[in-house]
Each structure stands twice: as structure tokens, then as C-alpha cells.
Structure 1
Amino acid sequence: MTRFRNILLSVLTLSVFGLLAAACNNASTGEPSVQPSVEISQSAESKESAAPSAEQTRTVHDAVGDVVIPANPERIVAPYVEDALVSLGITPTMQWSLGSYVQDYLQPYLKDVPFLDFTDGPNLEALLAADPDLIVLYTTNLAKDGGYEQFSKIAPTYAFEDATVSWKDTLNTLGDIVGKQKEADAAIQAYEDKLTEAKAALKPYTEGKTFAVIRIKPKEFLLMDGTYYSGPVLYQDLGLKPHPLIKELSWDYNYPFSLELLPDLDADYIFLLVQGETARDKANELQNSSLWQDLPAVKNNHVFEVDISYWMAAGAIAHSKKVDDVVRLITQQ
């Protein structure tokens, strides 16, 4: 790949063309969001001369089509899929960031890994300098409007439709790609074993109870449903019962709601996700409301603020930490 990088650098043409179409989950969610902000041009001749031999590659099918990837990739950049790589025992070459915002829960595993900043679109100059031999896109939103071609000029690129929907499928896919299926199986089994213990511990406290997750952004409150991140863990894996208001209101993975709806949210337990210090004023507005103070969960001290860095993430590590939080917070009342 060093030869590939040198050739690519010799023909690199940069032209800033601004921010392209935003993905469904953008900077407001703390997820990778936009297309590359720098255009990369490379001659077909130089790309062909840099290509590895057939014996060193394999063809796989991703959400975009067939892609030729290294048979044994070693320098992998997978923004917002680092949870899966770490679960497989792999340290990525770069890690996702949004300015100073990073995936805090993964930093013990990634403390020396440089950041790939997505503030104004992925920093392709930094990505190029990192010399990856495989790039993994967590969503096809990053592949739209020429994005896939831009990434592919740097290194072979594998695109998921949406890697956050089923972390197990994502882990199995990556395990196959990097030759670590045993590690993928072990991580999934460890999570299943944790669930068995957690459900037994929670049953005396949660049977017949209802739950809700509120995400607080700087300018709005969102009621999370069961589609992404926290929902699958609480309502599917742990078998907890979502409050009826969640199903009535949620049309996507979260639903904006106003303080006037609070009297209807009489869930037994509520988890709060405060999206950074910029959302703290909004959180105070909620918690200082008389409507909030009248909620059963508030009166019974059944409201818990949790770490948004992994409650708004998907993967074996993130989901395991959610399970640990739920068991600890509910059983130690």
C-alpha cells in the first residue's frame, strides 16, 4: 500500500467543493454524516499499476455492489464501526471524531489511534496520509453523490447499508472479511451469556413495568423508540416493556415531543441521554418543569442519566455496557 500511496500522492488533485448531501444521521446525532469535502483525482493507469495481484485479493459483495478487497487487510479505517473492530481484536488505523467529540467508551482501546474528523466532511487528506488498505463505510449515505468513488481512490472500500441496524450481522461480516470469524462468534456468545444473567437479575424489579428513553439535544427533546441503539437492547434483548406513548408517537428511531406531553409519559423507569454540555440547559428546562416533577418515575427516583457515548452507539461493547448500566441502576435501588 506504500507504493499505492506514493503513486496516488503524485497525481493527487485537490479541489474543495463544499459540503455535499447530509446523511440521515448527521452531526446532531454524533455520527458520521457527510460526503467527502475534498475531491481526489487519480489516473486509471496509475491505479492499475498500484493494484495488488489476484492472489492477494478477494471479491465480496457490499451494499453498493461487488468490491475487490485485500485478502488479509491490515490497515483498516472504519469510521463509527470501531466497536466491531475492537471486538475482533483489531486496532483501526484511524478513528472517527466530530471535532472534539469522540466515542469516549472506546478510548481505552484506541488511545493512540489518530482521529478522522468528520466536522466538514471526512478529512480525505488525513485519510490518504494514513495509507489504509481497507476503508469501511458504516452507511451508504457516505457513498452517495460520488462519495464511494472518492473513498475508493484512496483504498478498496466496503459499504454497509447501515451497520448500526444489526451489530451482529456487522460483526459477522467484518469477521469474515478479516478472517476472524471465531472472534466474532465469541463476542456474540459473550453478549448472549450476559443477557441471560441480566434478565434473571432484572425480572423481580421489571416485570410489569414500563420504560422510556429520552434524548435531550440542545434545542429539543426526543423520545427514542425500539429501532436503533438503546431500543434493541431494552425492548428486544432484555425484554423490557416500552411505555405505550413510545409506540404511539415514534415514526423513526426518535420523536420530538414537547413538555405538554409529559403527563402522558407515566413510565416506571426513564433513562436520560444528554447530548453534551450544550444540551445541559435543555436538560435543566426539562427537569425543572413541574410537569416533570409530577412523573411517577421522578417521584420514585427511577430516572437515570446514562452515558450517551455508548447509549447512542451499536456494537458488542456498547450494548454490553448498556446492559451493565440497566442491571446496576435498577437492581441497586
Structure 2
Amino acid sequence: MPHRIRTLLHPFLIAFLALAMLASGCGSKPTPAEEKRQGGEAAPAPSSTASAPQEREFKHALGTMKLTGQPKRIVAPYIEDALITLGIQPAAKWSLGDLVQDYLEPHLQGVPKLDFTGGLNNEALLSTNPDLIVLYTTNLAEKGAYEQYSKIAPTYVFNDATVDWKQTLKTLGDMTGTSDKAGKAIAAYDSKVANAKTKLQPFVKDKTFAVIRAKPKEIQLMDGSFYSGLVLYADLALTPHKLVKEWSWQRAQTLSLEKLPELDADYIFVLVQSETSRPLLEQFQSSPLWKNIPAVKNGHIYEMPSNYWMASGAIANTAKIDDVLKTLVK
């Protein structure tokens, strides 16, 4: 090749080689200074533990339960009120034969029943494929049941979840990552209670109250420490009749016709467990002893839905307050 042509090509050859070297370095890792000039940051090195679910421990009535991650399929018989309040659909719902918690049915369409007739069927529980089981009372964990349930899924046992429904809600909120919803539900309930007490005050001052329950074989004077008693006497601060305070405060007692004249409360709420309970109630109602108690004579006997008056939770207790307001505030 003539010398003049080689001289002319020399600059082009250098440029070509420089471009080739630049292209070959495109896949190499930029230096920190280059990253800063380009306005980006290096991706963090992958970590094998960064996304691993954490294991948490929860102490309960019968020991300690360990949970890994947030449970999704929860079976909490008779505490469905709390799960619904937290925006969680249970994997199964409590039943006793055909009896279910009717007031929750609008929220539980399509949820399979878990029948407690004769005790819980472990095969039925297993078929729900739970990743968390919650028992509302230690009674459900007796005779080796707790050990059997624990083999199916992590199992938490309350002493009695229905007594302090707010703490029950907080505990479930902590387990399921819904503590914010638990707090909001409790605040809304407390606000409702405060407003209800203000509305009721002119109508309930110096008045006494009682709740009786008709069952197929007995009429009970209900206690003041569970279910409706907690709402009426603790939350709404209604005055329990002296017979309630002195005789049935801690445990419902069988109310005989002979005892009935002592129940001279100003207002009586009546709960009917089922239609098979109504004949005995009608027998009471036909007695002169019933007709002569003040609440009957003054037209202050009110039948209320047994279903949620014998339940506990934000939904049930809110409904009870609504019933009391509709009945007493004129």
C-alpha cells in the first residue's frame, strides 16, 4: 500500500479501535463515581433472609403458640364477629346442627359450617385447611382436643374470649396484621356508647333493669357479667335490679314462678332461645304472678333477639345498643 494512503487511514484506524474497546466495556460494572454521574445507584445485593417471614410467639391460656407470617385461613368458632370486624372471612363458621349465628349470616354466605354437636369433628376441621385455629374458651380444648388441634395448625386458646371482646379483637388484630382495624372498631364502639348514654339518661334515671331468658326447660334470670349484662350494666351504666345483683350476677339462675314476685324491675328484656322454648314462656306469661310484676303491668316487657344478645363482639354489642335506644328513647 502506498505510504500516503497508509498515512491517511491511520487516524481512522485509531478511532475504530477506540470505539471497539468502548463497546466491549459496556457490560462491565460502573464505578461508584460513574453511577453518581449517571444519577443511579447500584442494586442491593440479594439477601436470603430479607423476605423470610418472621416467627412470632403468642402466649395463651394453655401455653405458647408460634406463628410464621400472617395467617390467611382462620378457624375461630364463635368468634366470627371479631374476624368480620377485622375484615377477615373465616375458613369455617360455628354451628350447632342447623343453629348458626344468624346476625352474622349476611357476612358469611358460602362459608362452610363447623358443627359442634357432640363436640368438634376433627376431620371436618382438617378439611378447612386452616393455618390458624382460635378457641374462644378452654372448654373447647379439654380431653386432649388442644393437642389434636395443634397438630393441624397453630392453635390459640382464650380463657373466655366473650368476656373482654375488645382485648380479643386486639389479640386477633396482632396475629393477623390488622391492629389498625381493631383500634378503629373499638374507638367507634366507645363513641357509640358515649352517645347512647347521653340519649338514654333522661329515660333510665332511677329505673332498674333485668334480662330473662326462656329455654326449653327453664326460665333464667341472666347474669351481669356476660353478653347482654356487660352491655347494659357496664357499657350503658343501666342499673341492674337488686335480684340480679344479689342472686345472679356471676351466673344465670333458674327463675321459678315462686321467685317471680321478687323481680319488680322497671324494665325487663326477654330472650327466647328457640321456638321450642316458647311454650314454657307462655306458661309463665299466663300466670297471675307474671301479670302482677311492675314491668308487665306498665308495658315495659320487651322481647329481644336471643341470637346476638347471647353473643359478644363489636357487631353484636352495637346491635344491642341500637335495640335499647329504639326501645327506651321516646
TM norm structure 1: 0.82
1:169 pairs, out of 167, 170, 194, with: 167
| Distance in 2, Cα, partners of 1:68 & 1:91 | 22
Distance in 2 between residues matched to 1:54 and 1:98, nearest whole Å: 40
- What is the alpha-carbon distance in structure 2 between the residues aligned to residue 147 and residue 122 of structure 1? 9
| Contact 2:225/2:249 (<8 A) preserved | no
Distance 2:52 2:222 in 1: 47
Looking at structure 1, the residues matched to 258 and 52 of structure 2 have their Cα atoms a distance apart, in angstroms, of: 63
What do you get for the CA RMSD once the two structures are aligned? Answer: 1.3
Q: Is the radius of gyration larger for structure 1 or structure 2?
A: 2
Q: Which ranges of structure 1 fall in alignment gaps of 5 or more residues?
A: 1-52
1:197 to 195, 198, 215: 195
Aligned counterparts of 1:109 and 1:282: Cα–Cα separation in 2 = 33
1:178 aligned to 2:164? no
Equivalent residue letter for 2:267:
Y
For 1:168 and 1:161, the matched residues in 2 are separated by 14
Offset of residue 56 of structure 1: 5.0
Amino acid at match of 2:321: V
Partner of 2:322, secondary structure, is helix
Q: How does 1:137-286 map to 2 (within 5 A)?
A: 137-250=135-248, 252-286=250-284
Tell me the equivalent position of 1:37: none
Distance 2:219 2:288 in 1: 16
Q: Does structure 2 conserve the Cα–Cα contact (< 8 Å) formed by 1:93 and 1:132?
A: yes
Question: Which of residues 316, 325, 328 in structure 2 aligns to 1:327?
Answer: 325
1:94 and 1:123 map into 2 onto residues whose CA distance is: 13
Aligned residue for 1:67? 65
Pair 220,249 (structure 1): closer, same or farther in 2 beyond 3 Å: same
Could you tell me which amino acid in structure 1 is paired with residue 317 of structure 2? H
Contact 2:214 2:270 in 1 (8 A): yes
What are the residue-to-residue correspondences of 1:28-39 with 2, within 5 Å? Answer: none
Aligned to 1:76: 74
Aligned to 2:7: none
The correspondence for 2:107, drawn from 101, 106, 109, is 109
TM-score by length of 2: 0.83
Counterpart AA for 1:201: K
| Cα distance, 1:300 vs structure 2 | 1.4
Q: 3-state DSSP class of the match of 1:136? A: strand
Q: What letter corresponds to residue 323 of structure 1 in structure 2?
A: I
Range moving further from structure 2, 138-147 or 312-321: 138-147
Contact 1:292 1:298 (8 Å CA) reproduced: yes
Identity across matched positions, percent: 58
The alignment status of 1:133 with 2:125, answered yes or no, reads no
Rounded Cα–Cα distance in structure 2 between residues aligned with 1:218 and 1:252: 22
CA–CA separation in structure 2 for the residues paired with 1:231 and 1:251:
9
Distance 1:71 1:208 in 2: 53
Whether the 8 Å CA contact 1:83–1:106 is kept in 2: the answer is: yes
8 Å CA contact 1:69–1:157 kept in 2: the answer is no
Unaligned runs of 5+ in 2: 1-50
Distance 1:150 1:290 in 2: 53
Alpha-carbon distance, 1:69 to partner: 1.9
d(CA) in 2 for partners of 1:311, 1:253: 16
User: Which ranges of 4 or more aligned residues in structure 1 deviate by more than 6 Å?
Assistant: none
What CA distance in whole angstroms lies between the structure 2 residues aligned with 1:230 and 1:157? 28
1:175 is displaced (CA, Å) by 0.6
- Aligned amino acid, residue 69 of structure 1: L
Query: In 2, Cα distance between the equivalents of 1:71 and 1:293?
Result: 59
For 1:180-229, what per-residue CA distance to the aligned partner results, in whole angstroms no more than 9, with x for missing partners?
A: 11100111011111111111111111000000000111111111121100
